[in-house]
Structure 1
Amino acid sequence: MKQVILACCCMLTLAASAQKNIRLFNGKDLSGWTIHGTEKWYVEKGGLVCESGPDKQYGYLSTDSNYNNFEFTCKFKQEANGNSGVFFRSGIEGVKISGWQVEVAPPDKHTGGIYESYGRGWLIQPKKEDEQWLKAGEWNTLKIVANGNKVTTWLNGHQMVQIDDEKIGTGRGFIALQIHDGGGIKVRWKELKIKKLPD
């Protein structure tokens, strides 16, 4: 009987740890992250900043750990051109990334939509009437839930898209922030958190 109780306690402990929010960014430095490319990533006033460098190419900042099923939340503020995004279940060679991106872009450019890099392209975009939920030049809250084949995104508390896709379901990898190529991009990030969901 004691063994059964102990086993149940262990299972409850594991379940609780899986549901715990993890801070991905410590507000001080880029510990736990890796820079890919020559674009700028730095910490300023307790927040994370991505900014185009002189090469004006794609750039990425990826987590050192992989996350498969999860609930991810963050806040972002677009300054200048906000063309960026959050990749998930991704891998990279040089600056060629494979995986799926939740778009962070200027107004009416599909923030919250899902794009497959070097694959099928746009998988789903927000409805036209939902583009209004982006607050340009202000802090926005982005939420992504990936669980098996299903991915749902929210912007400022409003559901943007939901997709059920077998290929996404087979994906494994890290989370990464992106700088799009072309230059003139600056986005601020803060309160990056993730909650692991059971695989």
Structure 2
Amino acid sequence: MKYFLLVLALMFSSSAVAQDFQPIFNGKDLSGWTIHGTEKWYVEDGELVCESGPDMEYGYLTTDRTYKDFILTLDFKQESNGNSGVFIRSSVEGIKVSGWQVEVAPPGSHTGGIYESYGRGWLKQPAPEDEKALKTGEWNRLRIRVEGDQVITWLNDEVMVDLTDEKIGDATGSIALQIHSATEGNEVKVRWKNLRVKVLE
């Protein structure tokens, strides 16, 4: 009887946790998001796709809502050149971004690391042995926890970096997906799905 009650309690507990996470992409259109730049953002087969456009410049897709402390989970699959990223506590003017990027990039290019654009550059990169968690050409699960001064990232359930930074702690902003600039013949294409956020209070 005790075992049955324990299992039941765990089931309700898991359900409550799952209900705390809310989808921020509806799988149908870009409602709740804003495009910055000329690069392509569209929905295909229930997935969000970013792809190099005519200018092959940087592009961003930002949430209309801003977030301070949260946990974000999402799946991504890199096609062609998969150089992209997820910005936290960010803002965009034109195609210039302020904020911090959790890198999504080809093998050996520090996926899960944290980079400050137009600022200090790399703040923390994963250890070389941890970068092996990236599955080339397959779906990968990225998890980002942002609370106060601390940012922790996981790739396929492996911790990539754990960073504490006062400047990040002072900021509030959008969640943003990035598409990197490209050259002809080396265009960027990345697919995203299952984007969910849990706000920490």
TM-score by length of 1: 0.90
What displacement does 1:22 show? Answer: 1.1
1:163 matched residue in structure 2: 163
What displacement does 1:70 show? Answer: 0.2
| Residues 113-151 of structure 1: CA deviation (Å, up to 9, x unaligned) | 000011100000000000100001000000000000000
Secondary structure (helix, strand or coil) at the match of 2:132 reads helix
The whole-number CA distance in structure 2 between the counterparts of 1:149 and 1:181 is 29
1:5 matched residue in structure 2: none
1:194 matched residue in structure 2: 197
Is 1:107 matched with 2:110? Answer: no
Secondary structure (helix, strand or coil) at the match of 2:26 reads coil
Aligned 1:116-195 pairs, distance under 5 A: 116-183=116-183, 184-195=187-198
Aligned residues: 182
What displacement does 1:182 show? Answer: 1.4
| Residues 173-195 of structure 1: CA deviation (Å, up to 9, x unaligned) | 00000000014100000000000
Secondary structure (helix, strand or coil) at the match of 1:73 reads strand
| Residues 18-42 of structure 1: CA deviation (Å, up to 9, x unaligned) | x821100000000000000000000
Aligned 1:57-96 pairs, distance under 5 A: 57-96=57-96
What displacement does 1:74 show? Answer: 0.1
Aligned 1:2-17 pairs, distance under 5 A: none
The whole-number CA distance in structure 1 between the counterparts of 2:154 and 2:114 is 12
Secondary structure (helix, strand or coil) at the match of 1:168 reads helix
Q: Unmatched 5+ residue regions in structure 2? A: 1-15
1:41 matched residue in structure 2: 41
What displacement does 1:152 show? Answer: 0.1
Secondary structure (helix, strand or coil) at the match of 1:76 reads strand
Off by >4 Å, runs of 4+ in structure 1: none
The whole-number CA distance in structure 2 between the counterparts of 1:95 and 1:155 is 27
The whole-number CA distance in structure 1 between the counterparts of 2:75 and 2:32 is 19
1:13 matched residue in structure 2: none
The whole-number CA distance in structure 2 between the counterparts of 1:62 and 1:90 is 8
Secondary structure (helix, strand or coil) at the match of 2:137 reads coil
Q: Unmatched 5+ residue regions in structure 1? A: 1-15
1:10 matched residue in structure 2: none
The whole-number CA distance in structure 1 between the counterparts of 2:23 and 2:66 is 14
Letter in 2 for 1:76: F
Higher mean C-alpha displacement, 132-141 vs 179-188 = 179-188
Identity %: 66
